[in-house]
Structure 1
Amino acid sequence: MTTPLLLGLIGLALAQPVPALLARMDWPYRAPRAAIVLWQALALAAILAMVGAGLSASLWLVVHEGAPNPDPGPVRATFHVAFLVLTVVVVARLAWSMISVAREVRAERRRHRTILDLVGERDAVRRSVRILDAAEPLAYCVPGLTARVVVSRGALDTLAPAELDAVLAHEQAHLRARHDLVVDTFSALHRAFPRVLRSDAAFVSTKVLVELLADDHARRRTGTTPLARALVKLGTRPAPAGALGATSTLVRRIDRLERETVDAGRQGAVEGVACYLLAAAVVLGPTFTLAVPWISSAWTTLS
């Protein structure tokens, strides 16, 4: 019974307390790309541990002293079925959340792009840019096969040319790297976990990290100063649902721009290596120390 218990505890830890603790740390944000991999590894390891706990527990209930138990008894058989059903529910819930989030987001973005094409003005030079006749300065992008970058008249009037270039480079970086797929995946994972086990840390941190990645691309294109000034002028206005853009991460983003320069290629290298090593340990550690020995033992027992 040791293997299912340990896997269950690992799954619970990776689902809530570990992400909450990691979200309070600053060092992963110095290597945003590697930090996203680490968050993905945590989510994958949590799901694998939960599924592994259910499968190993169900098998343990029908095995007696290292051999198949031909007559496990009604109580033991009931627990066996219950653990199998629980495992199926976990997998089915994850699959359904992935499908439902994909459908909802796709429909929402398609509707948003249609409205933008109706009420927005197409930029004469940048064909994917739509200009909204709004006094409030805002900028965001709507991902998809026919993506849109949106800026308002207020933003055009407020931003200097270099600052506008930085904003557009930031939004294009979101679209080119398909950051929406990363955010949508964590949105689905967030929805898949039961409310009592759900942690907002992974979802919120991922949205911050993709903004930092887009910032890195923009400042390589235009420099740090224009980007920082543009962020201040645009403020913390949230993007519409389904879009990517400015969020409440302004303070962290500007602080990072102040501490790191565009040519600081080695900054974050140590943190990046640490993130990748932790990601590998989180996924491979339980797999080779618990899952593989259990699979080997189960195969020997049942054969």
Structure 2
Amino acid sequence: MAVLLFAHALLMVLCATPMLRRVTRAGIAPGLGTAVWLAVLACVLGSVVTALALAILVLVGVLEASRPIPPAAFVATVVLAVLVVVAGVRWVRALRRMRARADEHADALRLLGRRFDCDRLATDVVVLEADRPAAYCVAGRRGIVVVTSAAMAALDPVTLRAVLAHEAAHLDGRHPLLLTVVRGLAAAFPGLPGMRWCHTVAREVGRLLEMSADDAAVRRHGVASVLSGLLTLSGAVPSGALGASGQDVVARAERLAAGSRRCLRVRISLCAIIVFAFGVPVVIVLARALGALGPLVWP
């Protein structure tokens, strides 16, 4: 069964990923697309961890049944157990390190910038003196929205409110936290080949989260204001932050200009990927459980 779970994880990485990128490319239902990407990531990780746990249990059974204990089985059991523990510890440490860095960044920006009162937002807004127009959010213990003085000068009041609404949508939706979880995987194991896939997931999730924030801002301030703010703030965003001018500016601008689209086929495809991602491991585990219970139920 461990081999089947490993095979399923590999199939999801090699086959489901290109399909999912193609389905979510246009940004239709970005919230659902984000959920599917995260579900596929969770499924792949769950399949790998479960397969490793089953392999450890099999090796422990071999050790208990064998006298004397085969050295190879003993070494393999210890190595697998250590790998699972080390992987979990490294991931948690990477998450804590990234979280601490975000807290320090947010605190530093509060000290360096000046507070900007915006009655329509519950989030703190800080104006930072800079020559380049930019706006982004930083998640910490108390997330903040940062807008540069150049952006304040370049944007009219309506467009500025749309940009701030975009950033507030990131914080309200816990978007930085979602990206931190995915990026933490790649940061914990930078040298492993499989971590390149985590970078792909993080990039696609970040792109869809930007589109979700665009939609939230459009619902409050209209397409024209959001599109104007996106094109005005087309500069770089600090590493690790989510900004109105973040990823795929041209694609996002074209999507906003084209207007909202609803495609039932895209939604069905996304739901089908979720069913396949979680359905296959469940079937594998149930088949194994029924096989083990078979002699007891049908003697």
TM-score greater than 0.5 by the shorter chain: yes
Which residue, out of 216, 241, 244, partners 2:242? 244
Q: Could you say which residue in structure 1 is the equivalent of 2:147? A: 151
Identify if the C-alpha distance between structure 1 residues 222 and 236 changes in structure 2 by more than 3 Å, giving closer, same or farther: same
Which residue, out of 48, 65, 69, partners 1:70? 65
Q: Could you say which residue in structure 2 is the equivalent of 1:118? A: 111
Q: Cα distance, 1:251 vs. partner? A: 1.5
2:65 counterpart SS class: coil
Q: Deviations over 1:81-140 (max 9, x none)?
A: 52574265235414531x223322222222222222222111144571111121210001
2:192 counterpart SS class: coil
Task: Give ranges in structure 1 of 5+ residues lacking alignment.
Answer: none
Task: Give ranges in structure 2 of 5+ residues lacking alignment.
Answer: none
Between stretches 205-214 and 116-125, larger displacement belongs to 116-125
- 2:281 counterpart of 1:286: yes
Q: Could you say which residue in structure 1 is the equivalent of 2:51? A: 53
Which residue, out of 155, 161, 166, partners 2:162? 166
Identify if the C-alpha distance between structure 1 residues 151 and 248 changes in structure 2 by more than 3 Å, giving closer, same or farther: same
Work out whether residues 139 and 155 of structure 1, in 8 Å CA contact, stay in contact via their aligned partners in 2: yes
Q: Cα distance, 1:48 vs. partner? A: 2.1
Q: Could you say which residue in structure 2 is the equivalent of 1:219? A: 218
Residue identity matched to 2:207? V
Residue identity matched to 2:99? R
Identify if the C-alpha distance between structure 1 residues 214 and 32 changes in structure 2 by more than 3 Å, giving closer, same or farther: same
Q: Could you say which residue in structure 2 is the equivalent of 1:93? A: 87
Q: Cα distance, 1:178 vs. partner? A: 1.0
Identify if the C-alpha distance between structure 1 residues 20 and 230 changes in structure 2 by more than 3 Å, giving closer, same or farther: same
Q: Cα distance, 1:248 vs. partner? A: 3.3
The Cα RMSD (Å) is 3.0
Work out whether residues 170 and 217 of structure 1, in 8 Å CA contact, stay in contact via their aligned partners in 2: yes
Task: State the distance in 2 between where 1:120 and 1:195 align.
Answer: 39
Task: State the distance in 1 between where 2:258 and 2:68 align.
Answer: 65
Q: Cα distance, 1:159 vs. partner? A: 1.2
Q: Could you say which residue in structure 2 is the equivalent of 1:196? A: 193
- 2:293 counterpart of 1:295: no
Task: State the distance in 1 between where 2:127 and 2:69 align.
Answer: 68
- 2:231 counterpart of 1:232: yes
Question: Between Structure 1 and Structure 2, how many residues are aligned?
Answer: 289
The TM-score, its normalising length taken from structure 2, stands at 0.84
Identify if the C-alpha distance between structure 1 residues 268 and 177 changes in structure 2 by more than 3 Å, giving closer, same or farther: farther
The TM-score, its normalising length taken from structure 1, stands at 0.83
Q: Deviations over 1:219-256 (max 9, x none)?
A: 11111111111111110412x23422132320121121
Q: Could you say which residue in structure 2 is the equivalent of 1:137? A: 133
What is the aligned-residue identity percentage? 29
Between stretches 137-146 and 16-25, larger displacement belongs to 16-25
Task: State the distance in 1 between where 2:241 and 2:56 align.
Answer: 43
Work out whether residues 2 and 55 of structure 2, in 8 Å CA contact, stay in contact via their aligned partners in 1: yes
Between stretches 215-224 and 276-285, larger displacement belongs to 276-285
